[in-house]
Structure 1
Amino acid sequence: MVTDKMPMGKDRPIGIFDSGVGGLSVLRHIRAAMPAEDLLYFADSAHAPYGDKTEQAILERTLAIAQFLIEHNAKALVVACNTATAAAIKAVRSAYPSLAVVGIEPGLKPAALQTRTKMIGVLATRGTLASASFSTLSQKIAASTGVQFTLQPCVGLADQIEKGALNSAVTEALIHRYLAPLMEQDIDTLVLGCTHYPFVRPLIESIVHRLTSRQITIIDTGDAVTKQLVRILAEHALQQTAIRSGSLTAFTTGQPTVLKSTFFSLLGLQPTVLQALGAP
């Protein structure tokens, strides 16, 4: 039985988890910033996407995966999924109070600092935008800064990215459909509120340029999450200090060959990929 009393040595790996492959956009930031750290990546692909699931279902999956990564000696957990962070991060921190836990949320704060027009567009899953935590955060930031958030749920977009269809006609049509109403507003800042979306950022930028002549700043929160992780590991003396190249091991509830192919196509990496709990 794993408890919150277990030792948390600096030589243990960092666990990173997402409903699928979106969290790889966060993993690449972490690997670049901390190349000596051993990393575990968990893709819950058999249960993706989370955006259309109930909050209770997401909570149960997140707690099960947190337990799995702790049993694999994770010293820290990065919930690299906006929807899971919104639904379950409080429960994870409550269940494992001694574990260093970093969540991800849409980059509303950095967007509020950068906007000139005070009009910000947010692309995210329906689950993220409907969550109580998103509502609380967006209302708090809007009240304190005077910005206005225009929210756009992107049904089906994470699914396309999960399938690797980054430049397909269907993906392009979805992005155009979701961007068009935002570009009709006076937004000057666009938040990518799902970790899958940075993988289609070039396509998003291209369509933005077609729809408007305005300069639009795009916010991807992977870098901010990494900085927070570095800070927390340093605070708890958990940073790897050895001069070495860290290992990378991945787990999936889907097909290992698919995740292995996705690692290579998106990041140029070839980690060991293993079948994990809950696989069909």
Structure 2
Amino acid sequence: MNSKSPILLFDSGVGGLTVLAELRELLPEAPVIYAADMAGLPYGTKSEAEVAARVAGLLGRMAERYEPRLICIACNTASTIALGMVREVLETPIVGTVPAIKPAAAITETGTIGLLGTEATVRQQYVDDLENRFAEGKRLLRYGANGLVALGERKLRGEEVTVDEVASAASGLVLQPGGENLDTVVLACTHFPLLEPELREAFGKDVKFVHGAQGIARRIDHLLSGQKFSRWSKSFAVTTGELQDFERLSGAFEQYGISSLRRF
């Protein structure tokens, strides 16, 4: 393996920075290409066919251009819909992002778990399978909070996001029958941990939040165990959208060693 070969971290927007933050803790010298499909954002309102075609097409082109050693799909919607398809067509190792239902089921005390994701994520059979496998005997309440994606993007751009806005976007979860017993919430979109302080205030101090960023980073670290990285290889980020808008996020990327932002 070429020591300069990067890890490709793909998301519909900038939610994947929550994964990159954990990855930098474990693999600080690894060259990373962060790919944000800003032109396709949001995925949560698209059909399964649209998401699958877009993700497979983009990752195919990116794999050919950048020759990554590993691809991480840091997006729950893209993973629950297109992970299997992409693995079939690409030879590159691929790590997906799926709702952290297993750890949530292990820590809930009331037996009622909330799942906050995009509309596209919460309706997937993949989520049904995770519930049946790991949350048997528990109650899983689901809510597609598409509005939280835009709020997370706004927050990273330095714009004001209020607790009231976050609470309004997520309120459909607790307003369901049984919502009063909720004590654990799965943040099933990589954008949502960006809003965890606001969500904690909105839901109250007794509610625990779970997401998969640490587990994803550990999985990548395990798969790349023993591989060498060139400390001189530059990390950078690419967007499918307008570069001028993407550059408003330069401060957020610089925290993780990425100073070059480009158009894909």
TM more than 0.5: yes
Which of the residues 245, 252, 256 maps onto 1:258? Answer: 245
Which of the residues 108, 111, 115 maps onto 1:115? Answer: 108
**1:68 equivalenced with 2:61 (yes/no):** yes
Match of 1:202 in 2: 197
8 Å contact 2:102–2:135 — kept in the other structure?
no
For residues 72 and 219 of structure 1, do their structure 2 counterparts lie closer, same or farther at Cα, with a shift above 3 Å needed? same
Deviates more, 1:221-230 or 1:66-75: 66-75
Q: Which amino acid aligns with 1:208?
A: F
**1:167 equivalenced with 2:155 (yes/no):** no
Match of 2:228 in 1: 240
The alignment yields a C-alpha RMSD, in angstroms, of 2.2
Match of 2:21 in 1: 28
8 Å contact 2:116–2:188 — kept in the other structure?
yes
In 1, distance between residues paired with 2:162 and 2:48? 31
Superposed displacement of residue 231, structure 1: 1.1
Superposed displacement of residue 30, structure 1: 1.0
8 Å contact 1:100–1:233 — kept in the other structure?
no
In 1, distance between residues paired with 2:31 and 2:252? 21
Which of the residues 254, 259, 262 maps onto 1:271? Answer: 259
1:103-252 aligned within 5 A: 103-143=96-136, 146-164=137-155, 165=159, 167-168=161-162, 171-175=165-169, 177-178=171-172, 180-181=174-175, 184-209=179-204, 215-234=206-225, 237=226, 239-241=227-229, 244=231, 247-252=234-239
Which of the residues 19, 34, 37 maps onto 1:41? Answer: 34
SS at 1:90 equivalent: helix
Q: What is the TM-score with the length of structure 1 in the denominator?
A: 0.84
In 1, distance between residues paired with 2:189 and 2:140? 16
Q: Which amino acid aligns with 2:116?
A: L
In 2, distance between residues paired with 1:151 and 1:168? 23
In 1, distance between residues paired with 2:25 and 2:125? 33
For residues 192 and 33 of structure 1, do their structure 2 counterparts lie closer, same or farther at Cα, with a shift above 3 Å needed? same
In 1, distance between residues paired with 2:114 and 2:210? 10
SS at 1:92 equivalent: helix
For residues 162 and 105 of structure 1, do their structure 2 counterparts lie closer, same or farther at Cα, with a shift above 3 Å needed? same
Match of 2:43 in 1: 50
Superposed displacement of residue 248, structure 1: 1.9
Match of 1:82 in 2: 76
Superposed displacement of residue 112, structure 1: 1.2
Q: What is the TM-score with the length of structure 2 in the denominator?
A: 0.89
For residues 258 and 226 of structure 1, do their structure 2 counterparts lie closer, same or farther at Cα, with a shift above 3 Å needed? same
SS at 1:104 equivalent: coil
User: Runs of 5+ in structure 2 lacking a partner?
Assistant: none
In 1, distance between residues paired with 2:229 and 2:57? 30
8 Å contact 2:142–2:173 — kept in the other structure?
no
Superposed displacement of residue 178, structure 1: 3.6
Identity, % of aligned positions: 28
